[in-house]
Structure 1
Amino acid sequence: MEIILTVPTLLILALSARWTWWRPKTGGLKVLCYHKIGTPPPGSKLRDLWVSPKKFRSQVKFLMDKGYKTLLFSDLLQAYRENTPLPEKSVLITFDDGYENNYTHAWPILRELDAKGNIFVVFNTIGRANLWHNPASEPWINMATLSQLKEMQESGVVEFGSHTMSHPRLCALTLEDAACEMAESKRQLEAAFNKEICAFAYPYGDGAYAPEVRAKALAAGYTFDFSFRQGKTPWPWERSLRPLDRLFIRGTDNNWDLRLQLGSGDSRLF
């Protein structure tokens, strides 16, 4: 039997693949994952990691207009330790790596809209460049300086977590070296900011679901460990069972993508 697809049918199929509006809503902790806020350099092969300031402002405004409460790591820690429920519409805004553009572009927008954010910092690159990137994919860019990070912390708008000392793929290291990357970055960040560092994010998500690596993250003293796996995590959270997943915000995502991610945990099939 020959099947003929009409133009409207093809359009619906295409839209259903690009925007998964048909997926049911799911519960769980909503954690947004950003990287760079700004304009990617010409020829960048990492454009998905860049969200324009205009888009970022629109996305944060969407959250605030819809009644979401943006949480700091310390808010999450208090709820976890006291076993109290989170506000009904809670969301964590997180940034990986600690780029200078988080200070120049993201932080002012968060302040303007009365929102909170959290940055996972690679300790050895503070005030330097993102040397783990292959410059053939994108030129190195500046990381935030210690004074910039402290200014954000003192504003009460931003808190910090660890993203290791040097941003390696943890599963490619010996278990001893991976443990050192996680434990030493926590120690150094706590000394720099005079505050408990309770949260950790695995670079590239590598090791988040490797039991022996995750055990070292928990042994280092982190309360929360965040993966790079797409989705939401049931809350209350069973810490011994799994890390916290996140919702990756791409440079091409718009507010419809954001709405779908908050609802079902994803906005696209590919």
Structure 2
Amino acid sequence: MTLAVPVLMYHSVTDDPPASTRSLSVRPSQLDAHLRFLRDHGFTGLTFGDLGERVRTGAALPTRPVVLTFDDGYADTHEAALPLLVEHAFPATVFVTTGWVRDAGAEAAGRPLDRTMGWTQLGELAASGIEVAAHSHSHPELDQLDDGTLATELRHSRALLEDRLGTPVTSLAYPFGYSSPRVRDTVATAGYRQAAAVANAVADVGVGDPLSVPRLTVRRSTTPEVFGRVVRGVDVDRIFRTDRALTRAWSVVRWSRSRVRGARRA
């Protein structure tokens, strides 16, 4: 089974974001318009986990599937995005950095860039049909971690979500969108069945690596015209040319850093 599926990556949904999240935020009115466009053009929403499960089992996919994902676990995902998703009857996947949860207590880790949801809000998302999945525990650059720390980041995040929400967690999104063969092997060992990268490409499901599914970045600067073209797979290479060039350049830097750190550990 092969089918091109747009997997959209959102972050914050607010009219008044802090500078730290502004470029990757969207206004609630933008998300509302996106959902109306998808509904009016015959798209059917799936969660990231549902997409992965259907591909693995060979179950039928809708004619025009789309996956909406929201990273980090910001409070406005519950306050602004959830009511719109419910209104338009669209499922979604929220990738949560568990150490950033507002009432994480002794489990707090890393530095969230804005207000985040608490466990009660995450439970309400799950009860509304939203897939609550992992985005690591402290949002580190996973490919820069030693083996033990990497395994702990991945396993602890999954264990916390499953314990607090009472639902299996099989999906992960890589912080910063980056992974490596070593990271993906550890992700599989930690029990994840599918993982989201960035890559800014339409996912060719059934062909690519389920532990490196590309997503398409949605920003505050994404115009309605560009959004429509992206979800239809039109001019994606041109629209994301700059993003891809920066990703390639940064991957070289990261590879060099990981080699140096590996040599130091040895």
Q: Shorter-chain-normalised TM-score: which range?
A: 0.7 to 0.9
Does 2:55 correspond to 1:80?
yes
Does 2:159 correspond to 1:187?
yes
Cα distance between partner residues in 1 of 2:63 and 2:206: 13
Gaps of 5+ in 2: 243-266
1:206 is aligned to: 178
Does 2:111 correspond to 1:132?
yes
Deviation string 1:37-90 (CA, Å, 9 cap, x unpaired) is 002446x15422110001110011101111100102342243133212311100
1:171 is paired with a residue of what secondary structure? helix
How much identity, in percent, do the aligned residues show? 29
Does 2:149 correspond to 1:149?
no
Gaps of 5+ in 1: 1-26, 134-139
Cα distance between partner residues in 2 of 1:170 and 1:218: 14
1:159 is aligned to: 131
Alignment match of 1:122 (pick from 88, 93, 97): 97
CA contact (8 A) 2:13 2:77 kept: yes
- Give the number of equivalent residue pairs: 234
Q: What is the TM-score normalised by the length of structure 2? A: 0.81
Pairing 1:80-119 to 2, within 5 Å after superposition = 80-119=55-94
Q: What is the TM-score normalised by the length of structure 1? A: 0.80
Q: Which has the larger radius of gyration?
A: 1
Amino acid at match of 1:258: F
Deviation string 1:229-263 (CA, Å, 9 cap, x unpaired) is 110222214447x6100010011102211122121
CA contact (8 A) 1:40 1:50 kept: no
Q: Which has the higher contact order (CA 8 A, sep 6+)?
A: 1
2:145 is aligned to: 173
CA contact (8 A) 2:101 2:118 kept: yes
The answer to which structure has the higher helix fraction is 2
- Aligned-residue Cα RMSD (Å) equals 2.2
2:197 is aligned to: 227
